Chains A and B, each alone.
Chain A
Amino acid sequence: MRPFDYIRAEDPAAARSAAAGSNAAFLSGGTNLLDLMKLEVMAPDTVVDISRLGLDAIEDDGDGLRIGATATNSDLAADMRVRKHWPVLSRALLAGASGQLRNKATTGGNLLQRTRCPYFYDTDTPCNKRTPGEGCSAIGGETRNHAILGTSDHCIALHPSDMAVALRALDTTVEVEAADGTSKSYEMDDFYRLPGDTPHRETVLEAGDLITGVRLPAPKGDRQIYRKVRDRASYAFALVSVAAVIRMENGRIAHAALAFGGLGTKPWRDPDFDTLLTGEAPSRALFDEAADVLLGRAVSHGGDDFKIPMARRVLRAVLEEATQ
């Protein structure tokens, strides 16, 4: 770990200005940042602790919910409102990491957790995400859990979050306060960037931008499923995951919002996929056609070839269950 300055901010404004310098990082639960700092994959000069800013509230927001950036994954998963109206979020959270980690991990930190690509973690192997322009070791390497959607010639790293997949299916917005005090809010799709030729820039955030919370609109579907396939029963990242929010009306799919984990360089959602389902009567043929739309765009790398047939099967099972 490289020596760094530790600042415990007294209020959000102080936190933002302390972090406005070029190489600062906010410390929330620390479950990702500290690991990466120990390996010097991340080496901020300044660490600004935001865990005591009182940003942990989970509050009613009309028919929706506002979740503070430092609400822990455990608290959020256990919240009665979330369990009742947004169960896909609760399930996604509980499918992630372990009880101990979820007690520390926070909403903001979870959104910004970095990829688990092993070459990103290994400072002896080139990685464009870690050091722009250095090259990508994953391409041509061991690719069992890499992304097959949204990749570029510079990076095929997967976004590992479960929580963010559920949030994408729920049309969540991310609320940010910039270093200069202005507030911004982003749709999830706009919040995350595709790797392109700048895979080190994962979101639209600029130095000093603080996530203050996320806003969940009223649930648009009562049939909510989170299904995660992983290498062991617990404590493993998704190979494939699906978050589905569906509303049925008169035997037809009135609302379909599906988001995917384990597949994309960011929590994945494909508007064409949702559109194809909307207004239709559920059928095996429809589900397969939708899967073709989603997975027709996939590019796999050998080790992760299996994700395409796996995603197809899981998708079918989730849609069958959700539209029954």
Chain B
Amino acid sequence: MTEVRVEGLTKAYGPAKALDEVTLTFPDGGFFGLLGPSGSGKTTLLRAIAGFVTPDTGRIWLGDQAVERVPVEDREIGMVFQSYALFPNMTVAENVAFGLEVRRIPGPDRTRRVVEALDLVQLGGYGGRKPSELSGGQRQRVAMARAIVTRPRVLLLDEPLSALDRALRVDMQIELKRIQREVGITTIFVTHDQEEALTLSDRIGILRDGRLVREGTPRAVYDDPQDAFTARFLGEANVLTGLPEAGGLRLADGTLLPGVTTPAIALRPEALAFAVPPPDTPHRLQARLAQRIFSGATGTLVLDWQGQRLKLTASERDLLDLPAEGSPLWLHWPAAAALALRDAG
């Protein structure tokens, strides 16, 4: 089993840095989600660990081996690509057997391990098919089987589910998690989809412009985002900024939020409640109802406050007695729901 670690990893393409002093530990056997906006360096980090990208400076450890000088072929990694990258000229079984063939695993042993891997991804009877005869989800499973059958030290997944439609993606998330649990291989998973990252990962890391902004368990990062970027990127957040005073945070409309010592707070849309008469709490705002959005089980209120759009989500049941659009409305929240931010983003 292998802990993966990168230290001070930097990679520049011209003047722009795709990776900037990234130091990060991927725990042994864990499922690590890498998140970040487009162009933040997620793929570059993953490919540096794989060996396709040579970092300018920094170290990469697979277990206790430093691998910066080790070529891809010798790193003993498993990789799953967004496009699956199955070999079209080989059958499913041959695809899965390829890594074993490279390692000169003898025939009977090879066959057994291929069967085991295909069973693990629930494609038992599909060994004789060509990749072109499979659905997207099935191709994805073959790609997984091919990557894990060699028992790699680390499994690297670059947006493996993004080519699937939404319903299938949710199924495959559960599958992916089950497979990873069963094989216990250290896994690094790149995704655009923050919900996916929260669902799957034991730990997540958030990249921005090549720098690691935050790292921790999904719960810890979600509940305490610490800066406006993380708060907005992971889940939705209403960020309120003001001037810190002795008594709390003074907002633009004069409201004083007691107990806040930072220049900004984040309020999750689901933490907000609304009332027509003024609620009996200092943690409140007066806003104007701008729009009501129905989206199935939950509904969203869009409110206008000092020219800023605030969002409130609640179950449809709780949104029945609403005043007309355009009327004033009080927002309030429990004191603990105000997440302290060190910047306003």
Q: Do A and B come from one complex?
A: no
Q: Which residues of A contact B (CB under 8 A)?
A: none
Q: Show the binding face of B for A, using Cβ within 8 Å.
A: none
